[in-house]
Structures are given as structure tokens and as C-alpha cells.
């Protein structure tokens, strides 16, 4: 080998990581094995499968396919569907998810058979509810990475009594069985697989090996003959493939930052956004090498924070009505509305709606000169 | 002959199925969840997977052992919002709790 060729090879080896193709929304993680990539591809087929009543859909449902809601800009992205949640805050601060009245997800559609039997177009709104919430469809990129973040990392960011006096007092939510939650707008659900299995049931009325029984119709049993497909309506294999698809969805590569974006990134930390939207998290051990010990741009601490009375809606688990999990800032460039209920049409309005623990950062953003505000927005739009 | 074998296999399966199911009914089962309501001799537990939450009705017997916070707990002292783990038996009369451990008290 000539010396020149040797230098060229060395330069190639050094430059190769910098030249890695950017990951687009919907791409699989880098470093998956051939088998994992195959499962990702097959899982996408289940994710996009459209269910009909003959295939188990309903009798109550919000959507006919995972991919019907998580669709923009591709499978796994956001969606324009808005669903309804309802719970009751009881005396003493106990949150009732209204399971006796059909659960906190109030499905917006019924199958023709259920409509014929009961004459309803949607699940009846639970009469005991003390609050109602709208929920937009979040993107689900990088959820395998979030799932692989050790609990100890999340708990290390918690400061429920604000002992460091920075005005930020994140605390973890807990599932009904006491485990630490991290998924969902109120961080109720502990693991990704459980979130997916529960979503099959709550969003599409598809029973599966993890959720074997249909939910009630507002607390009443399903009328005979309305849901003739035997439970479970999908098997473990289909559930596993769906889990593989969602777990292996990569974090889309942020756009390259120009000078304005780099200034915005500095301001993001300087004015305090990063206190809750923690820029990077690190995964721990994982049976999947592509998820193991990876640092990634999460922009969340997966904890609950008080967002003030204007944002408040339902309680859920330990989350009070005004507490929400810090939303991961992922693929913001493809979002056309913001916040848990889509109330903000622009990022500026989303920031302005932050209250409670985030009021300080909001006010510091407001006080920035217009050029710096634009820089921060440019940074967010690069994500 | 093949048809006869198939029929015999089918009949055997049908005969064995109820026995298998009844054996399954007696299997121990563990539930973890949040207490929704406490009644005399029973407790309703919110359990489930993800957003698919379900209510489980657990019967308690005089022999049901309830513990938590480092010692035994009286059935009357179980409150809505408590998080518990219940080791149960599935019986023909429903789910019977044999041992209950309170993991966390209601907020």
C-alpha cells in the first residue's frame, strides 16, 4: 500500500461517522441486527394493519389502526386525531380512573353492531368524571430509547420538594401497581410493551395476550353477539412484532444548526428550558445492542411538573390535574400543533402557555429580544 | 382408520378440557393494583396494562393475611388509593385473596 493510499483510508475512517446518513422519521435505529431489522419491517405491517369488526375491531374504538393516528410524516409520527380522557379527583386527592364507568379513555367510535344494539355512536361520557381532557396523537420515535433509560436516571432528576430552590420540582408518576411510570402525557405507564398492549385494547378494542378482556361499555357488559371474534383478537406474535417496530423506531436526526440555531440552543439552556427538557438521557443495559448505553437527545426528564392552572385537566395516577410529564422534544419540525391537547398553533404560543414551574423560563423567553426569540424557535424547529 | 384416530383424539381432548380448566381455576394468581373500593369481606382493585385498566373483585376471608408498613393490618384499615399486592386463588366462587401486602399508602 502506498503512503498516500494509507492516508486516504485513515481519513475515510475518521470521516465516516460524520458522514453517516441522517435518520429520517420512521427509520429504524442504527446498529440493529439483520433479524431485528426484519422484525421491524414485519412489525410495521401489523402497525399499519387496518382492523375491521370481523378482525376484532371494537366494539368501542378510537381508531382502526395504529398507523391511522401515528401517520405524519410517516408511520410512528403524529396524527390529527384528538381523543377524550376523563377521570375523577376524589376527596383526599385519590385519582379515580373510572374503570367502573368504562375507564379513563372515552372511545369516540362504535362498531355498527354496537350502534345497532345500544344506539350509541361513542362511549357514554362517565357520569362521575370531575374533569375532561383532550389528547392529541404524539409521535412515538425513540420510545425504545426512552424505555431503556434506567429508573435511577429518572429518579436522579426528581426534586419533589425543590430542595435546590430552583423552582423546578419534578416527581415521578406511578402506575396503579406502584411501578414508576414514564409513557403517556401524564407518565402513567411503566414500559413500552405495556403501553402498546394497552393501546391495542383502549384505542382499537383489540384484545391480546396481555389484555385478554374487552373493556365495558361505560361500565356495562358488551351486549351478546356484538363482538363475536374470540379473545385474544391478536396473538403474541403480532404483539411482539408491533413492539419490535415501535421499540426500534429511531430518533430522527436533528437538522444541522446554523449560527442562529446554535444561539437558540445556548438560550434554551440559559433561560431554563433545559431544567425539565433535559437535553440528553443515557440508556442502560438492554438485550438490544442498538439500545444499550446510548446517549440520545431526549429533551425530557420523564417526570411530572406542575404546569399551572391554565393547563390543568385530569388527574391520572399520582399526577394532579396541573401536572404533566415533560414532553420529549422530538421531530418538532413536523408538528403543526403543540402541547398535549394541540391548543398551541405555534411554538411561541406553546411557550407562552407554560405556567407553574415553567413560568420562570416562559417569562425569560418573553424578555428576550426578538432576534433571540427567533433563534430559540429556530433551534426547536431543527429537532 | 385415520378418520377414526382423529375422532378418538377429538373426543379425548373434549373429555380432558374441563379437567384442565378446573385445574387452572385453582391456580394461584397474583394481582397488583390500586384499591378502588373496600366492602365488607372484599376489595375492588384497579389493575391492568397500560391504558387498559380493569377492575378485579377480590374476596377476603378471615384467614386472609394483610400486612404492610412493617406489621399486620386490619381489613378495616385498607383504604381506597392504597397500592397492594394480593396473592389469590381463582375459585369457582371468584377470586379469593390469601395474602395481601400493602406496598404504598394512599396519598
Instruction: Judge whether B2 lies within some domain.
Output: no
Residue A351 pLDDT = 98
Q: Which residues of A18-42 are buried (b: 16+ CB within 10 A; e: fewer)?
A: eeeeebebbbbbeebeeebeebbeb
Nearest residue of chain B to residue A191 (CA atoms): B50
Look at A176 and B33 and tell me if their CB atoms are within 8 Å.
yes
pLDDT band at B21 (very low <50, low <70, confident <90, very high): very low
Instruction: Judge whether B76 lies within some domain.
Output: yes
Chain A residues with CB-CB distance to B52 below 8 A: 103, 197-198, 201-202, 211, 215
Residue A333 pLDDT = 95
Residue B97 domain boundaries: 29-104
Instruction: Judge whether B7 lies within some domain.
Output: no
Residue A92 pLDDT = 86
Q: Considering only CB atoms, which residues of chain A are within 8 Å of chain B? A: 90, 92-94, 96-97, 99-100, 103-105, 174, 176-178, 183-184, 188-189, 194-199, 201-203, 210-211, 213, 215, 318
The mean per-residue pLDDT over the stretch B31-46 comes to: 96
Residue B102 pLDDT = 96
Q: What is the DSSP letter of A59?
A: S
C-alpha distance from B107 to closest chain A C-alpha (Å): 7
Residue A178 pLDDT = 96
Sequential pLDDT tens for chain A (383 residues): 567 777 766 666 666 555 678 999 999 999 999 999 999 999 999 999 999 999 999 999 999 999 999 999 999 999 999 999 999 999 889 999 999 999 999 999 999 999 999 999 999 999 999 999 999 999 999 999 999 999 999 999 999 999 999 999 999 999 999 999 999 999 999 999 999 999 999 999 999 999 999 999 999 999 999 999 999 999 999 999 999 999 999 999 999 999 999 999 999 999 999 999 999 999 999 999 999 999 999 999 999 999 999 999 999 999 999 999 999 999 999 999 999 999 999 999 999 999 999 999 999 999 999 999 999 999 999 99
Residue A7 pLDDT = 73
Taken in order A196, A198, A199, A205, the sign of the CA dihedral is positive
* B24 pLDDT more than 80: no
Q: Say which of A104, A197, A213 has its CB closest to residue B54.
A: A213
Residue B107 pLDDT = 81
Look at A100 and B55 and tell me if their CB atoms are within 8 Å.
yes
HSE value, Cβ hemisphere, 13 Å, CA-based, for A330: 29
* Among B55, B101, B32, B50, residue whose Cα is nearest residue A181: B50
pLDDT tens track for A122-172:
999 999 999 999 999 999 999 999 999 999 999 999 999 999 999 999 999
* B16 pLDDT more than 70: no
Query: B32 and chain A: CB distance < 8 Å anywhere?
Result: yes
Query: B53 and chain A: CB distance < 8 Å anywhere?
Result: yes
* B23 pLDDT more than 50: no
Look at A201 and B52 and tell me if their CB atoms are within 8 Å.
yes
Number of domains in chain B: 1
Chain A residues with CB-CB distance to B85 below 8 A: 177
Chain B residues with CB-CB distance to A318 below 8 A: 107
Instruction: Judge whether B19 lies within some domain.
Output: no
Q: Could you tell me which residues come within 8 angstroms of residue A12 by beta carbon, excluding any fewer than 6 positions away?
A: none
C-alpha distance from A125 to closest chain B C-alpha (Å): 16
Chain B residues with CB-CB distance to A96 below 8 A: 36
C-alpha distance from B1 to closest chain A C-alpha (Å): 33
Query: B46 and chain A: CB distance < 8 Å anywhere?
Result: yes
Residues shown for chain A = 383
pLDDT tens track for B51-100:
999 999 999 999 999 999 899 999 999 999 999 999 999 888 899 999 99
Look at A198 and B104 and tell me if their CB atoms are within 8 Å.
no
Percent of chain A with pLDDT over 90: 93
Cβ pair B30, A93 in contact under 8 A: no
Instruction: Judge whether B16 lies within some domain.
Output: no
* Among A234, A356, A238, residue whose Cα is nearest residue A305: A356
pTM over 0.80: yes
Instruction: Judge whether B73 lies within some domain.
Output: yes
* B42 pLDDT more than 90: yes
Look at A99 and B107 and tell me if their CB atoms are within 8 Å.
no
Distance (Å, rounded) from C-alpha A205 to C-alpha A207? 6
pLDDT tens track for A234-274:
999 999 999 999 999 999 999 999 999 999 999 999 999 99
Instruction: Judge whether B23 lies within some domain.
Output: no
Q: Could you tell me which residues come within 8 angstroms of residue B98 by beta carbon, excluding any fewer than 6 positions away?
A: B28, B61, B63, B64, B65, B87, B88, B89
DSSP per-residue string spanning A325-367? EPPP--SGGG-SSBSTT--BSSHHHHHHT--GGGHHHHHHHHH
We report the CATH number of the domain holding residue B99 as 2.40.50.320
Query: B103 and chain A: CB distance < 8 Å anywhere?
Result: yes
C-alpha distance from B63 to closest chain A C-alpha (Å): 24
Residue B43 pLDDT = 96
Instruction: Judge whether B15 lies within some domain.
Output: no
Amino acid at each position: 500500500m502506498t503512503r498516500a493510499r494509507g492516508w486516504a483510508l485513515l481519513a475515510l475512517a475518521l470521516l465516516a461517522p460524520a458522514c453517516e446518513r441522517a435518520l429520517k422519521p420512521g427509520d429504524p435505529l442504527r446498529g440493529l441486527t439483520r433479524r431485528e431489522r426484519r422484525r421491524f419491517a414485519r412489525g410495521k405491517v401489523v402497525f399499519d394493519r387496518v382492523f375491521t369488526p370481523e378482525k376484532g375491531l371494537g366494539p368501542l374504538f378510537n381508531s382502526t389502526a395504529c398507523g391511522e393516528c401515528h401517520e405524519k410524516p410517516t408511520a410512528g409520527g403524529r396524527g390529527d386525531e384528538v381523543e377524550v380522557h376523563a377521570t375523577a379527583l376524589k376527596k383526599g386527592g385519590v385519582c379515580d380512573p373510572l374503570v367502573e364507568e368504562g375507564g379513563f379513555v372515552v372511545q369516540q367510535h362504535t362498531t355498527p353492531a354496537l350502534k345497532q344494539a345500544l344506539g350509541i355512536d361513542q362511549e357514554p361520557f362517565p357520569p362521575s368524571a370531575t374533569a375532561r381532557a383532550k389528547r392529541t396523537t404524539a409521535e412515538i420515535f425513540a420510545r425504545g430509547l426512552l424505555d431503556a433509560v434506567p429508573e435511577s436516571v429518572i429518579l436522579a432528576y426528581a426534586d419533589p420538594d425543590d430542595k435546590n430552590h430552583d423552582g423546578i420540582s419534578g416527581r415521578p408518576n406511578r402506575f396503579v401497581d406502584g411501578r414508576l411510570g414514564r409513557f403517556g402525557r401524564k407518565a402513567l405507564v411503566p414500559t413500552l410493551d405495556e403501553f402498546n398492549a394497552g393501546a391495542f385494547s383502549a384505542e382499537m378494542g383489540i384484545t391480546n395476550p396481555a389484555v385478554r378482556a374487552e373493556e365495558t361499555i361505560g361500565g356495562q357488559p358488551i351486549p351478546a353477539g356484538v363482538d363475536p371474534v374470540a379473545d385474544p383478537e391478536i396473538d403474541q406474535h403480532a404483539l411482539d412484532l408491533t413492539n419490535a417496530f415501535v421499540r426500534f423506531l429511531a430518533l430522527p436526526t436533528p437538522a444541522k444548526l446554523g449560527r442562529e440555531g446554535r444561539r437558540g440552543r445556548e438560550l434554551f439552556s440559559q433561560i431554563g428550558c433545559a431544567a425539565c427538557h433535559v437535553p440528553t438521557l443515557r440508556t442502560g443495559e438492554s438485550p438490544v445492542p442498538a439500545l444499550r448505553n446510548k446517549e440520545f437527545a431526549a429533551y425530557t426528564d420523564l417526570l411530572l411538573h406542575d404546569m399551572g392552572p391554565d393547563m390543568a385537566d385530569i388527574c391520572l395516577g399520582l399526577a394532579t390535574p396541573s401536572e404533566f410529564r415533560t414532553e420529549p422534544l422530538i421531530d418538532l419540525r413536523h408538528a403543526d400543533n403543540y402541547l398535549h391537547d394541540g391548543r398551541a398553533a405555534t411554538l411561541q404560543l406553546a411557550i407562552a402557555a407554560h405556567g407553574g414551574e415553567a413560568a420562570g423560563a416562559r417569562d425569560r423567553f418573553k424578555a428576550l429580544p426578538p432576534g433571540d426569540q427567533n433563534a430559540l424557535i429556530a433551534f426547536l424547529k431543527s429537532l | 382408520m385415520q378418520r377414526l384416530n382423529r375422532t378418538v383424539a377429538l373426543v379425548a381432548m373434549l373429555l380432558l378440557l374441563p379437567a384442565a380448566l378446573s385445574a387452572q381455576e385453582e391456580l394461584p394468581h397474583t394481582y397488583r393494583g390500586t384499591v378502588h373500593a373496600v366492602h365488607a369481606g372484599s376489595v375492588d382493585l384497579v389493575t391492568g396494562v397500560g391504558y387498559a385498566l380493569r377492575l378485579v373483585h377480590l374476596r377476603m376471608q378471615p384467614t386472609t393475611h394483610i400486612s404492610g408498613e412493617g406489621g399486620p393490618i386490619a381489613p378495616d384499615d385498607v383504604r381506597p388509593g392504597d397500592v397492594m399486592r394480593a396473592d389469590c386463588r381463582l375459585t369457582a366462587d371468584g377470586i379469593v385473596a390469601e395474602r395481601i401486602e400493602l406496598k404504598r399508602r394512599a396519598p
